[in-house]
Amino acid sequence: MSPNEYAKSLGVKLGKGCFLSTKEIPDEGYLIEIGDYVRIAAHASIYTHGGIYSLRKYYNDTYLEQFGKVKIGSYTSIGAHAMIMPGVSIGERCIVAGGAVVTKSVPDGCMVAGNPAKFIGYTEDFYKKIKEKYNFGCKNMSVKEKKDFLLAQPDDKFIKKGYIQVP
């Protein structure tokens, strides 16, 4: 069963054109709504409950439970190993970086990263930067054509990350 089929089998409201590469979805999938053309990468997790097992045991309160609905807007991308916590809404056209722990809702058009996730920029600015400076336009090339093309490019055409700040 594909990740998309699995999500639907748990009751996730899944929009059109979504590409899920994870099955890290709770049994309460019916509390999750995912818009159109959303990409969720491998090992990303969506939670609708949790964190109270130990409290239930400590207080001997078998019926203690909490739940939160999760909504992910259209044209949003969730990176690998990201964690979306209960009650979070992620807007449209958002990018959640790999490994991010999203504990608060994210407005439309924002990019977030880290633990806990923090605002790092606007999706629109990121798009413009890629389009103007780093777009290779090789989407429809064969694997060999793409390899030959990319290896022929000068180093300054590729994204380079700066060093972390060291005290």
Tens of pLDDT, residue by residue over 6-55, are 999 999 999 999 999 999 999 999 999 999 999 999 999 999 998 789 99
- pLDDT classification of 133: cutoffs 50, 70, 90: confident
Q: pLDDT tens, 83-124?
A: 999 999 999 999 999 999 999 999 999 999 999 999 999 999
As a whole number of angstroms, the distance between CA 71 and CA 88 comes to 7
pLDDT in the model for residue 51: 78
Of the candidates 74, 79, 5, 96, the one whose C-alpha atom is nearest the C-alpha of residue 41 is 79
**pTM to 2 decimal places:** 0.90
pLDDT in the model for residue 50: 83
Which domains does the chain show, CATH number per domain? 3-123 (2.160.10.10)
Which parts of 22-166 are beta strand (E)?
A: 32-34, 39-40, 45-46, 70-72, 77-78, 83-84, 89-90, 95-96, 101-102, 110-113, 118-122
pLDDT in the model for residue 38: 98
DSSP 102: E
